[in-house]
Amino acid sequence: MADFHFAKAESWAELVRAHARWVEEFNNQSHWAHRNREDGRRSPSEVLGWVAGVRYREEDLERAFFSERFSRVLDSLGYATWRRWRVYGEEGLAGEEAALWLREKTLTLEYESEPLSRYEVQFLPGTEKPRALARPRLFETSHALPQMRLFRLDALGEAGWLKALRLADYSPRRLRRPESLQEVLFPYHEAWG
- pLDDT by residue (tens digit) across 96-107? 999 999 988 899
From first CA to last CA, the distance across the chain in angstroms is 97
Question: What pTM does this model have?
Answer: 0.57
CA dihedral 64, 69, 73, 79 (to 10 degrees): 170
Nearest-angstrom CA–CA distance, 78 and 95: 8
Burial class (CB in 10 A: 0-12, 13-18, 19+), 92: middle
**For the chain, what are the domain ranges?**
3-47, 58-166
Strand order in the sheet with 130-138: 69-73, 97-103, 106-111, 114-123, 130-138
pLDDT in tens, 13-51: 787 888 888 888 888 888 888 888 888 888 888 888 777
> Could you report the per-residue pLDDT of 97-152, keeping only the tens digit for each?
999 999 888 999 999 888 999 999 999 898 888 899 988 888 888 877 777 766 66
User: Smallest Cα–Cα separation from 117: which of 98, 130, 99, 136?
Assistant: 136
pLDDT at 180: 64
